[in-house]
Structures are given as C-alpha cells and as structure tokens.
Structure 1
C-alpha cells in the first residue's frame, strides 16, 4: 500500500497526451465480484475508455477488465458499461462543464482506497495534432537540458 491506504491499479497516461486536463473528480464504481478480483490483480486497461452522462447517471464505457481466471460461469463481459457513483450535485456540475464546447470525461486512474475501487475522472478538452507535437517538443527539450546538466555535473 502507498500513502493513505491508496493503491493505484491502473493509469491512463495516453489521456494526458490527448487532452488538456482541466478538473479531476473521484467516483466510486459498481462492479461484480469477479471484476473486483481482476482489478486487484491489476488486469484492467483504461486506454480507450471514456465516460458519459445518460439520464442523470455517469457511465464509463470501453474500460477493459479482463475475465477472472477462476471465475468460470460467473465471469463478466470485459467491455460492459459500468455505472459510477457520484452525488447529484457533482453530476450537475459535470453536466454544466460538459455542455461547453469540446469538453469530455476521461477516466485517468483506477485505485483501491480502503478496499473499495475508485475511478478518478478528468474533465478534458481534446488536443489538436499541433498541440501534441508542441508538447512532445517541450518534453524532449526538457529531457535534453536535464541530460546536459547531468553530463556537466559528471565532468566535475
């Protein structure tokens, strides 16, 4: 376990490449017995997942949870939509933000907190290709500077 009884199970690093993250929200998730066992084993993928608000409820789609090996007939569909647990006021705030142009809900992290699975949702705006290239160039520039400083310190 890491700090505060929180164990990060999966992260969606691609989301930080594809979106400008504006806000983050924690939500609970409704799972079956075999799904939570697979999550505890780290067999989850958030790569192409997204969340939508349907009829006042938040649902996460395309989140792949691999079937549990010992689950036999009780196993679940790996890509089924899963309901997220949030307060009505939080959902209403999200609806207001999402109705703005180009904003979307992305699950960026799944973690276990006091034995319960939690999803960290982010409100993000999609990046254009030139934004992605610019971010990549900045990242490479920082890496080159750090490498040069490290090499310079070794010379002394």
Structure 2
C-alpha cells in the first residue's frame, strides 16, 4: 500500500474539518430553500441586513470555522475542546431548520443563544493552545451575536 508523502499529510487532515462544516452548511442550505420568501415576509427590525448578504457572509465564516478546527487539531490541544467544536456545529446546523423550515422562531432563539455560548467556550478552549484558531472563531461569534439580536427582534415583532 503506497504511503502518503509527509508534505501532503497535513493538508489532507483539513478534509474532515471541511467535511464537518460542509455538512452543517448543507443542512442549513436544504432547510433554507424558502428562506428569502420567509425572510421577506417577516416584520424586520431596522438593523436587519438584506437577504442577499447571508450567503456570502456564511461562506466566509464556514471556511474560517473549518480552518479554526483544523489548526486547533494540529496544535495538539486538549481533544475535549473539540467536543465544544462539534457542539457548536450541531447547534449551527439546527438553527436554520428551526427558524426557516419550522417557523419556530422562539425555539430558534434558544438554539442560537446556546450556539453563542458554545462558540465562546470553543474559542476560549482553543485559545489555550492556538490563538490563531481561537481568533478565527471571533467573526463567527460576532455574526451569531448579531443574528441572535435579529432573531430576538423577529420574535418580538412577529
């Protein structure tokens, strides 16, 4: 059986992280088939972004999330921190079906509040070993905190 050259092994270890993030993105994408229609039908607060902005923002954030997990794994940090990483991916994947497919805005608000906590804990745990991997999660945390405020406003307004 041929061995993989050493210089190729590290990049290949990125693939499971990319795949895990892709699964979260695909679950969200499938559940968001009618997202533009649902979003435009909601009473939105003045700080709501245009619907077209979500796709580009999430694309960049998902790449950062995958790179963050991979860099942390490569840093040989405490593997228990990866439990938090997986938890935030699960909560992330759950939000879109709850909000857009089920119309369960309050349940989605609980989910995203838990997601905020999971991202923050993940970043704090990652920071112990890899400041770069922790820093890569900060834009994600900022965006989900903004989305939490938006979700809360939608619960109040609708």
Higher CA-based Rg: 1
TM-score, scaled relative to structure 1: 0.20
More helix by share: 2
TM-score, scaled relative to structure 2: 0.20
